[in-house]
């Protein structure tokens, strides 16, 4: 949630960004001890979720709900909670000064049978989850099986890997050691409770090392499977919601927990004193397994939103609307540059067998947005005093030798059209970042150690999934240049190496000390960035300048083949020729990469003495402006262009694709109440017409797997305000087609700044009589089954909507458009 865009309502032109959040939860224990109403004594432990039986062909609780259930815990701050498992999938961990991400966890299972027997299945993956759903009110059901419980009772189940402690499950008798199974359960499916799911093995993908570690980094596997005992006490889980031991520099920067998740209290003794309904269950009462686990029953979240005008308000999340802002959206706290002050220089890099040029951008004015006036399109910016900041590789990264310095005291008013955003400054809240620590050992930057710790660049045979060596090579190159810079020498404390006894096994660097990776939890208007560092017991917040952030770890597992990692010496693209790349086995003898010293490696970024005379205005910012387009920032920059071969032919106007439709298709999850078989013949005829009759500028795609979906891209006609602009429209055909026209959705790109056309709404509506969304007295203009076609719809949009004078369109005179 941190860093997410928000609006008060969808038509609001003012947007904001969530800078902090606080949540309070209602918790339900998965197990509890009921109290005898007569004696007042505690009875044996019971699981909260009841076993299930079959009634009226759908799942209902087997036992009548006459007993008192567990006491709920109300108004529990989320900061007091953590996941019920020590490690979970998608957690980031630091182990032996390496950052990795947990991709998969293999669990065992411990089950509690109704007769209080505790058993383990032979295959935990074969456990089945009973479903509780009434088919009379259920729209869709997953693939299920019908299991016999005996005595004429049946239950519907499904396989799932996500079974958590306390849940009711079904197990086949053949999945249990027969010697451990009572005779009463043989021959039929068995109902049971999941008592525990112990972690067996953890699959980790390593992402990058700490290149400032005092110990040489050994080349190891990119992926490992480790036992839980290996990580316990030796690895640090990146739990950034963990409360700091000292006062936090960022208020309420916690990740969200979803309803239904299992959690534990971080401090159970403290919870027992704060919440009267809390029952602490002893291990001897729960078969030796810790069942002090709670299910989140409900949440209430408040967030602090920093709006574009610079104001901050506290809002309930239910009163806000999510806004997926583009990367070039302007918010207070964002870094921007003045377009006028951008120059390019071309420098030749040593270390390559051929001449390879690198475009470096010199930025004369860089600053931080303080506020944005949407109505006047004016931004308030505080500029950094330093001039001549350099961005390498066409603005994708900050030159490690550059420093932004301090901000000016006063803010200047600048038109948003004079500002640009480069990827080098694109840092966002909730980003996981790799840092250059402010205190390092002398051995981390010594020449001998630097030579030892350098990991060779991946060769052309490297796998695209070899993330670790690619990131390691990139970070090592950044480090080599950074340690030679003046700002690094002035702001970094160099520790003298600690002396150790000859046979000492103690390390001079704690394996549980993490200072090279953290999460951005605050971006101040003074240019400072607050990063939360993980720790074994507590995490801590530090403030760092932008130049100390070496890279941002992607949120997904996609290897950035065309990112900086490749640019700095990674694998060539598949389309590149062999002559354009050097590997460890290829060289023309001009420069031996193995002989490069750290200072020479730093020169790989280029030396100012070697560059050509800067040429101003080589960065091209001008491009045709589209109607109602708000802020031409990052998307408006045509930085030194790369020449690609011109296509030999235009793509076909109509095509049926074999792959899956895109996930952002508006109707991809649309559910029908009837069958599409009745309209398939008509669809085939429509597609034949489109294949042969589409005019230029209209491109239509459908998919073999979803023939009921269309995606259309129209190129704005020449001579109109929309010339060369792309318009993307999604269509879907319902079972009542062709009796009714298809449904349509327009993908607006105005960022909440209004309609680009009176007939094209920001919420996706298209106001057109043939679509049934515009009232008309002329029936010939409406959809006529058996006569109207999809081609007619597309030509109508192109000819009646994307016109030269849209303001005078007859549709504009109407006060409203019919709803779908």
157-163: long-range pairs with CB below 8 Å, 24+: 157/128, 157/129, 157/130, 157/131, 158/128, 158/129, 158/131, 159/125, 159/126, 159/127, 159/128, 159/129, 160/128, 160/129, 161/125, 163/109, 163/127, 163/129, 163/194, 163/197
Smallest CA-to-CA distance from 539 within 228, 176, 245, 130 is with 245
Task: Please choose, from the candidates 598, 551, 545, 546, the residue with its C-alpha nearest in 3D space to the C-alpha of residue 570.
Answer: 551
b/e code 295-318 from CB counts within 10 Å (16+ = b): bbeebebbbbbbbbebeeeebebe
Instruction: Give yes or no for a contact between 482 and 401, defined as CB atoms under 8 angstroms apart.
Output: yes
Rounded to 5 degrees, φ, ψ at 30 are -80, -15
Handedness of CA 93, 95, 99, 101 (dihedral sign): negative
Q: Rounded to whole angstroms, how far apart are CA atoms 565 and 477?
A: 10
CA dihedral for 180, 184, 186, 192, sign (positive or negative): negative
> How many C-alpha atoms does 463 have within 13 Å on its Cβ side?
8
394: left (phi over 0), alpha (psi -120 to 50) or beta: left
End-to-end CA distance of the chain: 32
CA distances (Å), origin 42, targets 229, 730, 808: 35, 61, 79
- What is the phi/psi pair of residue 481, to 5°? -80, -35
Alpha-carbon gap, residue 609 to 8, rounded angstroms: 53
SS3 479: helix
Let me know: does 814 contact 774? Beta carbons within 8 Å. Answer: yes
Gap between the Cα atoms of 417 and 526, Å rounded: 23
CB atoms inside a 10 Å sphere around CB 794: 21
User: For the chain, how long is the longest CA-to-CA vector?
Assistant: 96
Rounded Cα distance, 310 and 307, in Å: 5
Q: Which of 518, 530, 429 is nearest to 240 (CA)?
A: 518
- How many angstroms separate the CA atoms of 140 and 155, rounded? 17
Q: Alpha-carbon distance 716 to 724, whole Å?
A: 5
DSSP 531-571: EEEP-SS-BEEEEE-GGGEEEEE-SSS---TTSHHHHTT-P
Catalytic residue among 208, 366, 679, 767: 767
CB atoms within 10 A of CB 222: 18
Instruction: Enumerate the β-bridge partners of residue 345.
Output: 360
Q: Which of 223, 266, 234 is nearest to 100 (CA)?
A: 223
CA 701 to chain centre: 28
CA distances from 767 to 695, 731, 792, 797 (A): 22, 14, 15, 10
Q: Are 56 and 39 in contact (CB under 8 A)?
A: no
Given a contact cutoff of 8 angstroms between Cβ atoms, the answer to whether 88 and 99 are in contact is no
Does residue 132 carry a catalytic annotation? no
**Among all residues, which ones are annotated catalytic?**
767
């Amino acid at each position: 949630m941190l860093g997410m865009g928000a609006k008060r309502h969808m038509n609001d032109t003012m947007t904001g960004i969530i800078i902090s959040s606080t949540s309070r939860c209602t918790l339900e224990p998965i197990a509890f001890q009921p109290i005898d109403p007569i004696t007042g004594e505690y009875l044996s432990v019971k699981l909260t979720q009841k076993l299930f039986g079959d009634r009226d062909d759908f799942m209902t609780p087997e036992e009548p709900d006459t007993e008192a259930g567990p006491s709920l815990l109300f108004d529990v701050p989320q900061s007091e909670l953590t996941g019920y498992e020590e490690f979970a999938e998608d957690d980031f961990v630091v182990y032996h000064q390496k950052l990795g991400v947990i991709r998969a966890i293999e669990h065992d299972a411990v089950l509690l049978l109704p007769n209080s027997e505790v058993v383990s299945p032979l295959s935990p993956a074969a456990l089945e989850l009973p479903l509780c759903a009434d088919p009379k009110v259920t729209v869709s059901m997953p693939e299920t099986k019908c299991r016999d419980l005996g005595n004429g009772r049946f239950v519907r189940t499904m396989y799932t890997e996500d079974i958590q402690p306390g849940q009711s499950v079904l197990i086949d008798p053949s999945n249990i050691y027969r010697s451990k199974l009572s005779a009463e359960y043989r021959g039929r499916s068995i109902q049971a409770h999941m008592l525990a799911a112990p972690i067996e093995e953890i699959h980790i993908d390593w992402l990058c090392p700490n290149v400032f570690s005092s110990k040489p980094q050994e080349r190891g596997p990119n992926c490992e499977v480790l036992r839980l005992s290996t990580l316990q006490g030796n690895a640090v889980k990146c739990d950034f919601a963990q409360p700091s031991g000292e006062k936090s520099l960022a208020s309420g920067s916690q990740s969200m927990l979803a309803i239904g998740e299992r959690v534990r209290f971080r401090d159970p003794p403290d919870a027992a004193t704060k919440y009267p309904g809390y029952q602490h269950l002893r291990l001897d009462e729960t078969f030796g397994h810790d069942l002090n686990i709670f299910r989140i029953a409900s949440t209430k979240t408040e967030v602090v939103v920093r709006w574009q005008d610079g104001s901050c308000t506290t809002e309930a999340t239910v009163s806000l609307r999510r806004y997926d802002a583009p990367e070039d959206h302007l918010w207070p706290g964002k870094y921007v540059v003045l377009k006028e002050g951008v120059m390019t220089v071309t420098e030749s890099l040593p270390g390559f067998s051929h001449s390879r040029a690198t475009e470096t951008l010199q930025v004369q004015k860089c600053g931080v947005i303080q506020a944005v006036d949407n109505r006047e399109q004016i931004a308030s910016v505080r500029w950094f005093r330093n001039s001549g900041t350099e961005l390498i590789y066409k603005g994708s990264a900050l030159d490690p030798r550059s420093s932004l310095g301090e901000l000016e005291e006063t803010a200047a008013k600048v038109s948003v059209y004079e500002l640009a955003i480069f990827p080098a400054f694109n840092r966002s809240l909730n980003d996981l970042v790799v840092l250059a620590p402010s205190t390092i050992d002398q051995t981390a930057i010594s020449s001998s150690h630097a030579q030892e710790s350098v990991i060779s660049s991946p060769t052309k045979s490297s796998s695209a999934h070899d993330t670790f060596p690619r990131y390691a090579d990139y970070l090592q190159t950044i480090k080599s240049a950074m340690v030679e810079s003046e700002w690094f020498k002035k702001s970094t404390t160099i520790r003298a190496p600690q002396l150790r006894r000859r046979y000492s096994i103690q390390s001079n660097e704690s394996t549980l000390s993490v200072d090279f990776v953290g999460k951005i939890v605050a971006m101040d208007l003074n240019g400072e960035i607050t990063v939360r560092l993980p720790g074994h017991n507590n995490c801590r917040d530090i403030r760092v300048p932008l130049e100390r952030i070496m890279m941002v770890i992607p949120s997904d597992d996609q290897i950035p083949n065309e990112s900086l990692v490749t640019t700095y010496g990674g694998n060539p693209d598949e389309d590149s020729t062999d002559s354009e790349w050097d590997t460890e086995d290829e060289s023309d003898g001009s420069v031996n990469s193995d002989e490069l010293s750290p200072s020479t490696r730093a020169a790989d970024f280029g030396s100012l003495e070697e560059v050509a005379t800067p040429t101003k205005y080589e960065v091209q910012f001008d491009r045709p402006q589209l109607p109602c387009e708000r802020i031409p920032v990052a998307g408006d920059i045509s930085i030194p262009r790369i020449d690609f071969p011109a296509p030999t032919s235009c793509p076909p106007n109509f095509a049926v694709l074999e792959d899956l439709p895109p996930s952002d298709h508006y109707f991809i999850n649309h559910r029908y109440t009837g069958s599409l078989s009745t309209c398939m013949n008509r669809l085939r005829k429509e597609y034949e017409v489109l294949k042969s009759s589409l005019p230029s500028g209209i491109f239509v795609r459908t998919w073999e797997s979803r023939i009921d979906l269309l995606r259309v891209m129209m190129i704005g006609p020449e001579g109109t305000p929309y010339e060369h602009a792309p318009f993307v429209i999604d269509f879907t055909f319902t079972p009542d087609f062709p009796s009714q026209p298809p449904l349509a959705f327009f993908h607006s790109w105005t960022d909440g700044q209004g309609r680009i056309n009176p007939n094209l709404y920001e919420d996706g509506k298209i106001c057109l009589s043939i679509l049934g969304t515009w009232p008309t007295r002329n029936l010939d203009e409406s959809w006529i089954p058996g006569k109207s076609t999809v081609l007619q719809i597309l030509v109508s949009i192109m000819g009646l909507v994307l016109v030269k004078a849209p303001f005078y369109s007859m549709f504009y005179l109407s006060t409203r458009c019919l709803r779908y």
